[in-house]
Structure 1
Amino acid sequence: MKTINLSAQEVREAVSMREAIDAVRRGFVDLAGGEFEMPTRTALRNGQFLVMSAHHRPTESAMIKTLSLNFDRVPAIAGTVTWSTLDKVDSLIADAGAVTTLRTGAAVGVATDLLAAPDADRLTLIGAGGQAPDQVRAVHTVRPLRHLTIVDTNTERAGALADTLQAELDGTEIRTATDPAAAVSDAHIVCCATPATSPLFPESALPAQVHVNAIGAFRPTMRELPDELLANSTVIIDELDAILEESGEILHALEAGAITKDDLTELGPALTAAPTDHGKRTVFKTVGVAMQDWAIARLLADKFLS
């Protein structure tokens, strides 16, 4: 029996964003096909401690993630992802922070590839925290970027992220800003990655055609998007039960009567449906589900336990 322990750096070196996107895409299709046993995650201390688990029936494999979340420390996410199977006694333990940011970015990559205009190349990223780099990497993987605007009230943090990404995004014009409403006015794609408790911008600030990803709000008390945007867009979500348990913006829009449950489409079925015109404004709202962590853990297990 052996146990492989992987640091954040080792996770990063082992899994590319393209691999992560492809794996998470397959996972969403399997989730839609009923191949997962996946309870809604356990949230303790108002979401500061999270426990997530998933069992993939066809491979008889399972993943359990435990983490603590504190936006006042660096890194904000700390914990472990554990992988095991029924046919082997070997197991794998990986850094939860790296897995979480990678899989969240990958889900955004899957949704952006499905929903954003084929020629979209202008991204506005709101929030320059720990999740931010993989949001950009994922979008850039499926829609090569010519322009990137990083919005954060902390100008030093935004500038540091711009410097980091400039080395990776050769040929992309990168600028920083502090006003979200002004920054989204010419965007083709918007990524929201903040712990906001009220909408980051009004619907009127957005151009007529845009795709918006919202990943920051993962508790009912958190909210990044206005009701009007959800009411006037095609809304794709990761998983209905998780969204109805945790998504502040969806719960607020439902309670306000701006949308109904029938307006929400899960990503897995959307990926397997016949090609369709989703409309000029699209939204992907995710709170994160355990299947995504399982997908990354499986990639790691294939590389280190095979």
Structure 2
Amino acid sequence: MKTITLGERDIREAVTMNEAIDAVRRGFVDLAGGAFEMPTRTVLRDGQFLVMSAHHRPTASAMIKTLSLNFERKPAIAGTVVWSETGRLDHLVADAGTVTALRTGAAVGVATDLLAAPEAGRLTLIGAGGQAPDQVRAVHAVRPLRQLIVVDADPRRAQALVETLEPELPGVELRTAADAESAVAGAEIVCCATNATSPLFPESALPAQVHVNAIGAYRPTMRELPDELLAGSTVVIDELDAVLEESGEIIHALETGAITQSALTELGTALTAPPGDHGKRTVFKTVGVAMQDWALARLLAEKFLEKR
């Protein structure tokens, strides 16, 4: 039996963002088609410890991720992703923080490619933490950027992210901003990657046509988006049971009557029957589902196990 253990550098060198996006896109289609056994994740200590699992019936392969979250440390996410397949003795263990950042970025890439206007190229990113770089990379992979504005409560962290991404974004206008409300005014795409407990900006601050990705709020007590935005937008989610259990903004909007459950479309369903109207606002809300981790783990397994 072989155990292949992969750290951040191994994963980054092996998987491009485009590969991650393609893998996660296929995973969402399979999820909509019923190919997965995927229980809602186990949440301990109010979200500080998470356990996620997924079984892909067609390939008889499975993934289990265990992680701890602590936003006061770097990295904030620590843990492991374990991938195995029935009939094989060898398995793969990968760094959960890197897999989580890649698969979350990839999901945003899938949704942005589906929902953002074809010519969209101005991105405002709110939140410059560990998930932020892959949010930008994923959007840039499907909608080449002309402008990036980074907003963070800590201006130094926003500037550091801009400097980190600058070599990857030649020709792109890069700058920071202190105020989210003014920073989203001219955006064509907005990515929210914070641990906020109240909306980051009012609905009125956004342009009439914009695509918004929200990845940060993963507990019922957290919110990044206002009810009014959800009420006036096409809302696509990663998975219904997951957002009803964990998404603070979806739960709040349902409780206030701003939206109804029928207004929510799962991403896998939207990929098979895409919304055709790019003239209105669109929102992608994700709390993260185990299928995404499975998709990245399988991609790594194909690269590191099959050749051995």
Class of the TM-score when normalised by the shorter of the 2 chains: over 0.9
Task: Find out whether 1:9 has 2:9 as its counterpart.
Answer: yes
Q: TM-score, normalised by structure 2?
A: 0.99
* Matched residue, 2:28: 28
Structure 1: which 5+ runs fail to align? none
Distance 1:115 1:86 in 2: 37
Change (3 A) 1:111 1:36: same
* Matched residue, 2:235: 235
Distance 1:145 1:279 in 2: 20
Decide whether the 8 Å contact of 2:203 with 2:226 is kept in 1.
Answer: yes
Distance 1:275 1:8 in 2: 36
Letter paired with 2:302: D
Distance 2:33 2:11 in 1: 28
* Matched residue, 1:138: 138
Distance 1:253 1:92 in 2: 40
Shift of 1:87: 1.6
SS at match of 2:59: coil
Task: Find out whether 1:166 has 2:190 as its counterpart.
Answer: no
Query: Counterparts of 1:1-306 in structure 2 under 5 Å?
Result: 1-273=1-273, 276-277=276-277, 279-306=279-306
Decide whether the 8 Å contact of 1:38 with 1:54 is kept in 2.
Answer: yes
Distance 1:81 1:189 in 2: 31
Decide whether the 8 Å contact of 2:114 with 2:274 is kept in 1.
Answer: no
Distance 1:26 1:190 in 2: 24
Change (3 A) 1:37 1:278: farther
Shift of 1:9: 1.2
Decide whether the 8 Å contact of 2:115 with 2:275 is kept in 1.
Answer: no
Moved more, 273-282 or 94-103: 273-282
Cα offsets for 1:151-171 (capped at 9, x unmatched): 012111111100010010111
Identity %: 79
Q: TM-score, normalised by structure 1?
A: 0.99
Letter paired with 2:251: L
Decide whether the 8 Å contact of 2:116 with 2:278 is kept in 1.
Answer: no
Decide whether the 8 Å contact of 1:120 with 1:143 is kept in 2.
Answer: yes
Moved more, 277-286 or 51-60: 277-286
Distance 1:246 1:9 in 2: 31
Distance 1:7 1:269 in 2: 33
SS at match of 1:186: coil
SS at match of 2:46: coil
Letter paired with 1:71: F
Shift of 1:274: 5.2
Distance 1:275 1:236 in 2: 10
Q: Which runs of 4+ in 1 moved over 4 A?
A: none
Distance 1:114 1:135 in 2: 15
